[in-house]
């Protein structure tokens, strides 16, 4: 065995232990009727679990809710984050203080954020509906029409700072000369932003969007702390459905097959997004 292989071997073994083995085991589980309360009676199902979940309305509903959540949250975070990053870049005084305040939400654990907003927006216990009611406005933030949107807003509150951080770093790394040339040529601020800033910032935007989207696909805590997937199944996301199936109903086979379908979809999306930027 060459020296290079021998040096790589410990890392490869470690990775196999902590990543490949659990992945392979969950792959094996996804092909079986594997229930925690019937551990002595595990039956081979073949593609049965996959066939069931793909024909089940709950799975597609959870997937669709997740896509709406990811699309809505990441788009809003990108737009607001970019706006704030541009403003912060121009800020001369109190720059560090403004950044520190802006980044604070990111450091709170998501379950705490979920509980916090549950009590802020709850129609009976919440402060915000109380004051809105004083103004004559009644909004049921967790009603069937608004619940998913409210959860998107919570994610936007917590994770827009991440976008700001990424985009601000990107903006500050841009070369100055093209902007000076544009100013000399009399280009408007909007034209400069559209023709210079955006295209030059694109690689940073793609990376930020991919990282945020991958993270947003894992949304669980807000749903768990606030709506538990309801009303009806209006806020049931795929992670919550996987948790419910696997750890509440103990159907680990079904839950594992859902997780594999989700991984396949997200991988395909990431590759597609990455390839589309490479082609340009």
Partner 1 sequence: MNRKAKYLLGSFAIGCLLTATASASEAAELNIIIEEVPEYDIVRELSKEFTKAHPDITITFDAMPFDAMRDKILTSSLAPSAVYDVIIVDNPWMQQFARAGYLEELDGRIAESQGYDFEDFIEPIRNVGVVDGKIYGVPYYNYALGLIVRQDIFDEKGLTVPSNLEDYVSVVKELTTDGMAGVAMQPQRGYKIMEEWKNWLYATGGEVTDESGNVTIDSPEAAQALNLYIETYKAAAPEGSLNWGFDEALRAVASGRAATMLSYNWMLPTLNKKDGIAGDLAGKFKLYEVPGGKAVLGAWHWSVTANSEQKDAAWQFVSWITSKQVDKQRVIAGGAPMRTSVVSDPEVWEQGFGEEYYKTVLSILEDAAPLATGNSAEEVIEIVGTELSAAVSEQKSVEDALKDAARRVERAQ
110 is an interface residue for partner 1 by CB under 8 A: no
* Least distance in angstroms from the C-beta of 37 to partner 1: 4
Please check whether residue 268 is in contact with residue 276, taking contact to mean a CB–CB distance below 8 angstroms.
no
Work out which of 39, 108, 198, 267 binds partner 1, going by CB under 8 A.
Answer: 39
Q: Which member of 138, 176, 185, 278 binds partner 1 (CB under 8 A)?
A: 138
Residue 244 lies near partner 1 (rule: CB under 8 A): yes
Q: How far apart are CA 112 and CA 223, in angstroms?
A: 12
Q: Does 230 bind partner 1 (CB under 8 A)?
A: yes
Per CB under 8 A, does 124 bind partner 1? yes
Which of 23, 67, 116, 123 touches partner 1 by CB under 8 A?
Answer: 123
Interacting stretch for partner 1, rule CB under 8 A, among 139-147, 163-171, 193-201, 206-214? Answer: 139-147
**Closer to partner 1 by Cβ: residue 64 or 89:** 64
| Interacting residues toward partner 1 by CB under 8 A | 36-39, 122-125, 129, 138-140, 142-144, 147, 227-234, 244, 247-250
């Amino acid at each position: 065995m060459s020296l290079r292989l021998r040096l790589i071997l410990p890392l490869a073994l470690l990775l196999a232990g902590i990543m490949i083995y659990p992945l392979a085991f969950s792959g094996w589980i996804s092909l079986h009727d594997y229930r925690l309360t019937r551990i002595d009676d595990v039956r081979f199902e073949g593609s049965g679990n996959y066939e069931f979940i793909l024909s089940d309305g709950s799975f597609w509903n959870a997937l669709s809710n997740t896509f709406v959540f990811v699309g809505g949250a990441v788009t809003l975070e990108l737009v607001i984050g970019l706006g704030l990053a541009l403003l912060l870049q121009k800020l001369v005084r109190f720059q560090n203080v403004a950044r520190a305040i802006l980044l604070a939400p990111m450091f709170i654990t998501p379950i705490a954020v979920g509980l916090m907003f549950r009590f802020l927006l709850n129609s009976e216990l919440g402060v915000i509906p109380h004051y809105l009611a004083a103004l004559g406005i009644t909004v049921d933030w967790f009603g069937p029409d608004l619940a998913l949107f409210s959860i998107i807003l919570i994610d936007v509150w917590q994770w827009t700072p991440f976008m700001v951080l990424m985009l601000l770093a990107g903006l500050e790394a841009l070369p100055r000369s093209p902007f000076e040339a544009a100013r000399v040529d009399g280009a408007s601020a909007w034209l400069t932003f559209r023709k210079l800033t955006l295209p030059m910032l694109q690689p940073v935007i793609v990376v930020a969007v991919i990282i945020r989207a991958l993270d947003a696909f894992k949304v669980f805590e807000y749903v768990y702390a606030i709506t538990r997937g309801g009303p009806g199944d209006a806020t049931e996301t795929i992670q919550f459905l996987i948790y419910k199936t696997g750890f509440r109903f103990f159907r680990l086979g079904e839950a594992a097959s859902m997780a594999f379908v989700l991984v396949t979809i997200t991988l395909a999306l990431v590759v597609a997004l990455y390839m589309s930027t490479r082609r340009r």
